[in-house]
Copies of this chain bind each other. A is one copy, B any other.
Amino acid sequence: MTSPQRAPGGFPVVGIIGGGQLARMCQPPAINLSLTLSVLSEAPDAAAALVVPSAPVGSHLDVEEVLAFARDCDVVTFDHEHVPDEVLQALVDAGIPVHPKPEALLFAQDKLAMRGRLTALGVPCPAWARVQDEGELAAFGDLHGWPVILKTPRGGYDGKGVRVIGAASEAADWFAHGDALLAEERVPFSRELAVLVARSPSSQAAVWPIVQTVQTNGICTEVLAPAPELDPSLAAAASQAALQLAGALDITGVFAVEIFEIPGEGGGSPSYVVNELAMRPHNSGHWTMDGSVTSQFEQHLRAVLDLPLGAVTPRAPWTVMGNVLGGDYDELYPTYKHLLARDPGLKVHLYGKGVRPGRKIGHVNVYGDDLDALRERARHAADYFEGTVTE
């Protein structure tokens, strides 16, 4: 393993475990700031390995490989949340700064731990319970109503970590694994929002404007920044809660709080509950690459290095992000020629990944004054990449 080349002048090396698109999108701001990235990649052609000179192949599950990788880094951070506790602890024991820290990362890795901590802090959550068997699940459903949302605290079974359960017996196969599960009431939400926050080890923190996320078949397909017609008191309360969480959990780096907006009864003010935490740059923050003075990727690098944070001011009244999902057609280059010609203001961000149906392979951003027109432009570009529109 050759050491990453530093820029002269005392500039550090930031190690990122995982070579996906989040690591890849850290490279442009790293170049601007003269920081060197080193990426522990899953494969020689991982999304980040295509664009970062130092991208050794190795496994995030292997303590020795991770330690060898991290020896050249001034700080280690993550492309994903799947690094096991023992690997994180070995980094800490070796004296390597890790951000976010393992104690904080736990609350993004373990949904039962997250729910317990958020409830203790008074942050609004759906009604929830730790359920060990069908009997406990039935009791929860009878109290809070059916269907119930059932989640695996970590990972999932057969690639699924969330199910909608109409009766306790439907969960028999999951309980057969013997682990406790998380039961949550199904919240009657009107839409999904996300709060994106950055916090540094020195406790400087910054919150971007709250955005609306639109999901299609369980995948985020569109982000509207800022969330249209958001109740100001809800915005203030949710931003405040995200900052409170950041401090209480000692989160470092960029993180996202996914929330459900719940309509007020009888025309009253809406309220919210927290759905999930993600402790890394997040899909709901991709709009910041073109729509904010400081992008989430630049901010994440600044935060994990304990550099002063950048301004989170929006650069346009509206920015819309459209996720590009893979379709049946894998020759993207001719496709995007057409899109660049159709829309000279379209900002395309592709991840260097092979096309597979439904796979996130990129996103587009557009910004301006007319939200409806922006949504149409972003939607068209995403659909055209996917092949569901052809002109």
Contact = CB atoms under 8 A, between A and B. Distances in A.
Interface of A: 5, 7-12, 24-25, 27-28, 30-34, 36, 44-45, 49-53, 55, 293-294, 302, 307-311, 313, 315-316, 330-334, 336-337, 340-341, 344-345, 347-355, 362
B28 A24 contact: no
Nearest to A25: B31
Contact of A311 (B30, B34, B345, B362): B345
B33 A51 contact: no
B331 A9 contact: yes
Contact of A350 (B34, B340, B345): B34
Given A34-B352, A50-B36, A53-B50, A9 B310 contact: no
Contacts of A32: 28, 347-350
Contact of A310 (B45, B345, B354, B362): B345
B36 A31 contact: no
Contacts of A313: 345
19 contacts: A5-B44, A5-B50, A7-B50, A7-B353, A8-B352, A8-B353, A11-B332, A27-B51, A30-B51, A31-B51, A32-B349, A33-B336, A33-B348, A34-B351, A34-B362, A294-B344, A307-B337, A311-B344, A311-B345
B28 A31 contact: yes
A308 B335 CA distance: 12
A108 to B, nearest CB: 26
Contacts of A334: 10
- Give the oligomeric copy count: 2
Given A53-B55, A310-B340, 14 more contacts: A5-B45, A8-B353, A27-B27, A27-B31, A30-B51, A32-B347, A33-B348, A33-B350, A34-B350, A34-B352, A50-B53, A51-B53, A307-B337, A308-B337
B45 A344 contact: no
A349 B35 CA distance: 11
A350 B28 contact: no
A332 B34 contact: yes
A353 B334 CA distance: 37
A348 B316 CA distance: 21
A12 B315 CA distance: 31
A50 B53 CA distance: 7
A342 to B, nearest CB: 8
B348 A7 contact: no
Contacts of A311: 344-345
Contacts of A353: 7-8
Contacts of A333: 9-12
A331 B9 CA distance: 4
- Which 3 A-B pairs give the minimum distances between C-beta atoms? A28-B28, A9-B332, A34-B350
Nearest to A350: B34
A34 B27 CA distance: 13
Given A8-B354, A352-B7, A344 B24 contact: no
Contacts of A33: 336, 348, 350
A340 B34 CA distance: 13
